[in-house]
A and B are shown apart, each in its own frame.
Chain A
Amino acid sequence: MTVTEVSVSLTIDGQEVDVPAGTSIHKACESAGIDTPTLCWAENLTPVNVCRVCVVEVEGSRALVPSCARPVEDGMVVETDSERVQHSRKMVLEFLGSGIDLSQADDLGRWIDHYGAEPDRYDQPEVPAQKMYEEPKIQDDLYIRDYDKCVLCYKCVEACGDDAQYTFAIAVVGRGFDARIGTEFDVTLPDSACVYCGNCIGVCPTGALQFKTEFDMRNAGEWRPEEQDVTTTVCSFCGVGCNLELHTQDDKIVKVTSPADHSVTHGHLCIKGRFGWTYVQSPTRR
């Protein structure tokens, strides 16, 4: 339960920082007020450190180090804004932007500008840069999968697997640039092990996985995040006490998430919690 915290001192960008042992470099940076881009990292998932956008330079380490996954060590000297770090972050963003639709990615636009990434420079006349070209998969009324927006961050696989749901309905399929998130033999979700908890949507950073409500509203030009409110409350479908964040627009619930830092859900819900709110605005109540 309570563990005595051992403190570790390190230097980040010339600044002395003390954090508890076991803290990641990323968290240590945060405590030092240093903003780090992340994509595959999430509060409620085990770091897979695949996107490499959070890399930092650690003295004595030949390659750059993923800050999300690497725990701090006493005396560590970290650079988060060296030319090498800037270069790698810029290139990672450029690589992603060169083949993937990042238009709905949470925070990436800001970082693309910050590092001056130029995703367009890969398109040359002889050989156009390979991109994904897939129609969004719409197989039910709850959510859609638009893999043109997928950065293969593994988050959905983790949430479907042993970081939360243990259903393992989806996996990374194929290898290399052709790797995709998929079900066995690409069966539709209703024919797979999927139980529609929507925890994959909850962690998707790019809009590749999306509530059908949001997808439809976006298509209709009615999605206005700036006008939305978020209210935290408790789900009514059983006695576990899951916290729900109700996202509302025009006095209507448009989607539901859960706080990643809450001890009950850790941000994860079941089908009833995530999609069962429809009845609140059922026509039979109006």
Chain B
Amino acid sequence: MFGAGGGTSSYEEIEETDVILLWGSNAREAHPIFFHHLLKGLDNGARMYAVDPRRTSSAKFADAWLGLDVGSDIAMANAVGREIIAADLHDKEFIAHSSEGFEAYKAHVEPYTLAEGERLTGVPAGAIKEMAHAYATAETAQILWTLGITEHHNAVENVLSLCNLALLTGHIGRWGSGLVPLRGQNNVQGGGDMGSLPNKFPGFQDIGDPEAQAKFEVAWGMKLPDQPGLHLTLMFEAMEEGSIKGVYVIGENPADSEADVEHARTLLQGLDILVVQDIFMTRTAEMADVVLPASVGWAECDGTVTSSERRVQRVRPAVSPPGECMHDHEIIRELATRLGVDWGRPSPMDLWDELRTLSPLHAGMSYERLESEGGLQWPCPDLDHPGSPFLHGWLYEEGLGGRGPAPFSITNFEGPKEQLTEEFPLRLTTGRALDSFNTGVQSNAFASPIRYGEEIDVNPADADRLGIADGERVTVSSPRGSVEMDVRIQVDLPEGLTFTTFHFPELVDINLLTNDEWDPRSGTAEFKAAAIRIEKIANG
């Protein structure tokens, strides 16, 4: 809604902010060092509201934990917005100067009274009210989120519903206030920066935009497609339709990580050719026709990555890659050579310098500066620019720095695609554990003393009703499949909700259960909300 996709604020800002809404994020475990900054902020007197179906280790630090129903985020956000307006706490000056569509938004959220908010989310109205007032009246405030917001079928709407709150209160474009999506991997942001999105060139320049199109065509000396490509979920749809017959996977393990994973495996199996470039013989690699052994990006290669605060930093090789492993860019170059194109032998710095000529956001970030200044935050348009700790200061400029006003969005509460039924009466949601990472390909190699494996967390009341005990092995089924796992009885999640991590596919193939309903705009699947049932295993 505001332009380039990235967290608006620096980590340092959260140390000085007054109110924090931690929404669908267990940063204590998933982003521990960011959480250090957040804790410094709490120590400095910030108040925190944690909006999360589970009372996570992050939520335990909050002044209030608001345990909303899985997938009721838009209802919560709209109720907060409605209350801010009803209490006349919105920033009228900012709204008038910097935004558009307020009246429509106001009318749209009108039905989301506190009582309705309570009905839709399960959170007491008084707590929603208190959070709304705290956020609106704070001098500075930030909303942080992670996959609890984005791993839903309506991920983009979820995000926009939070952006509305920032627009409503002017908590954007200033030091200490902002919207911060925390990235799950060291270069999710950098991938976006570099144009690894189906609709973008590097530097978030739009495919199809005539100026950008012309610039890149000149630079790369060829005609480029002017229509967006496919994102991951659409690729799987295309595989299903048969319009994609070959896939080249780089550093991803979809045969374990996709929602409704059995279906994904079938599709991968059915390809004419599958090429996998990875550092490990993953489950996906095992299915491949060709495996290209790669080196470890952060320990064996030169290059850059971009963090959640838009900080571009250098990675450097510390050890040599084993055997025939090659750097990703060398593999791609070799592939080009075999396909008959000679790219020469550019170094990672040469590639970076080319990027700087094409992406204004990165133009000022020489390797030398990245080295000496501990990384730089984009936009950094020239060599004298200090980088940008926060984004969207233009919202306060006269004439909005030549841009259009930021639009309010109309966001409708729908709830998860997969509703609970008599057959599948429990909600399953998923998340990370502190000591593990994704499908465990990397993290399971070290001996964590605090790793407990894959268990399903169940509220004591549900456990009672089901007659299951702590540690008992049970069958967990969704409309897509069944797995066996051990139960852990947990008071930190409400009745009706269950939780598991997804780090041990070799032990529990949890994505057999998850829902692949996906968001048409982001392509993200609804990992966070499946309907399941738990059954005792007969005779133990």
Interface residues in chain A, defined as those with a beta carbon under 8 Å from any beta carbon in chain B: 1, 139-142, 162, 164-166, 189-190, 194-197, 229, 231-244, 246, 248, 251-253, 261-266, 268-273, 275-282, 284-286
B124 is an interface residue with CB less than 8 A from chain A = no
Chain B CB count within 10 A is highest, among A236, A240, A279, for: A240
B281 is an interface residue with CB less than 8 A from chain A = yes
Cross-chain contact A237 with B437 (CB below 8 angstroms): yes
Query: Once the chains are docked, how many angstroms separate the CA of A280 from the CA of B321?
Result: 9
Given contacts A165-B36, A190-B450, contact A238 B297 (CB under 8 A): no
Cross-chain contact B442 with A236 (CB below 8 angstroms): yes
Could you say which residues of chain A place their CB within 8 Å of the CB of B39?
162, 166
Cross-chain contact B318 with A248 (CB below 8 angstroms): yes
Could you say which residues of chain A place their CB within 8 Å of the CB of B437?
237-238, 272, 276
B337 is an interface residue with CB less than 8 A from chain A = no
Q: Closest residue to A262 on the B side, CB-wise?
A: B374
Query: Once the chains are docked, how many angstroms separate the CA of A232 from the CA of B302?
Result: 11
Cross-chain contact B318 with A269 (CB below 8 angstroms): no
Chain B stretch 74-110: residues in CB contact (< 8 A) with chain A: none
Q: Closest residue to A261 on the B side, CB-wise?
A: B374
Chain B CB count within 10 A is highest, among A197, A234, A236, A242, for: A234
Could you say which residues of chain B place their CB within 8 Å of the CB of A240?
11, 31-34, 182-183, 307-308
Chain B stretch 276-295: residues in CB contact (< 8 A) with chain A: 279-281
Given contacts A231-B318, A272-B435, A275-B448, contact A280 B307 (CB under 8 A): no
Shortest CB–CB separation between residue B402 and chain A, in angstroms? Answer: 25
| 22 sampled A-B residue pairs with Cβ under 8 A | A1-B175, A140-B449, A141-B446, A141-B447, A142-B449, A165-B36, A233-B299, A236-B187, A236-B442, A237-B437, A238-B186, A240-B11, A241-B306, A241-B308, A243-B374, A262-B374, A270-B33, A275-B446, A278-B445, A279-B443, A285-B280, A285-B322
B371-384: contact bitstring with A at CB < 8 Å (1 yes, 0 no)? Answer: 00011000000000
Cross-chain contact B11 with A264 (CB below 8 angstroms): yes
Query: Once the chains are docked, how many angstroms separate the CA of A32 from the CA of B123?
Result: 60
Shortest CB–CB separation between residue B371 and chain A, in angstroms? Answer: 9
Shortest CB–CB separation between residue B291 and chain A, in angstroms? Answer: 13
Could you say which residues of chain B place their CB within 8 Å of the CB of A269?
33
**Given A164-B36, A264-B33, A282-B280, 20 other A-B contacts at CB below 8 A?**
A162-B39, A166-B39, A189-B449, A190-B450, A238-B31, A238-B185, A240-B183, A241-B186, A241-B308, A241-B313, A246-B319, A262-B374, A264-B11, A264-B307, A272-B32, A272-B443, A276-B437, A277-B299, A280-B319, A285-B325
Could you say which residues of chain A place their CB within 8 Å of the CB of B189?
239
Q: Closest residue to B436 on the A side, CB-wise?
A: A272
Could you say which residues of chain A place their CB within 8 Å of the CB of B450?
190, 194-196, 271
Shortest CB–CB separation between residue A88 and chain B, in angstroms? Answer: 34
Could you say which residues of chain A place their CB within 8 Å of the CB of B182?
238-240
Cross-chain contact A279 with B445 (CB below 8 angstroms): yes
B294-335: contact bitstring with A at CB < 8 Å (1 yes, 0 no)? Answer: 001111100001111101011111111011010000000000
B254 is an interface residue with CB less than 8 A from chain A = no
B275 is an interface residue with CB less than 8 A from chain A = no
Could you say which residues of chain A place their CB within 8 Å of the CB of B436?
272
Shortest CB–CB separation between residue B441 and chain A, in angstroms? Answer: 7
Cross-chain contact A241 with B309 (CB below 8 angstroms): yes
Chain B CB count within 10 A is highest, among A189, A190, A243, for: A243
Could you say which residues of chain A place their CB within 8 Å of the CB of B297?
236
Query: Once the chains are docked, how many angstroms separate the CA of A231 from the CA of B315?
Result: 9
Shortest CB–CB separation between residue A25 and chain B, in angstroms? Answer: 25
Could you say which residues of chain A place their CB within 8 Å of the CB of B280?
279, 282, 284-285
Shortest CB–CB separation between residue A57 and chain B, in angstroms? Answer: 35
Cross-chain contact A268 with B36 (CB below 8 angstroms): yes
Given contacts A229-B318, A234-B298, A241-B375, contact A141 B449 (CB under 8 A): yes
Cross-chain contact A263 with B374 (CB below 8 angstroms): yes
